[in-house]
Amino acid sequence: MLVSIYGSLAEVQAGTHRLAQVILGASHLTQSAIPALLDGCNPTLALWKENLRKTLANQAELLCRRLNECHGLEVALPQGAMYAMVRISTELLDVANDEEFSQMLLQEENVFVLPGSAFGMSHVFRVVYCLPPSVLEESTRRIAAFCRRHSKKHW
Check residue 21 and give its pLDDT: 66
CA-closest candidate to residue 72, choices 130, 138, 139, 125? 125
* Residue 49: pLDDT band with limits 50, 70, 90: confident
How far CA 53 is from CA of 2, 57, 98, 104, 131, in Å, comes to 48, 6, 30, 33, 14
SS3 (DSSP) at 67: helix
Amino acid in position 5: I
Quick check: 2 pLDDT over 60? no
Residue-wise pLDDT tens digits, 128-152: 999 999 999 999 999 999 999 999 8
Check residue 56 and give its pLDDT: 94
Paired sense of beta strands 114-115 and 73-75, if any: unpaired
Q: Which CATH class is domain 54-149?
A: alpha beta
Quick check: 84 pLDDT over 90? yes
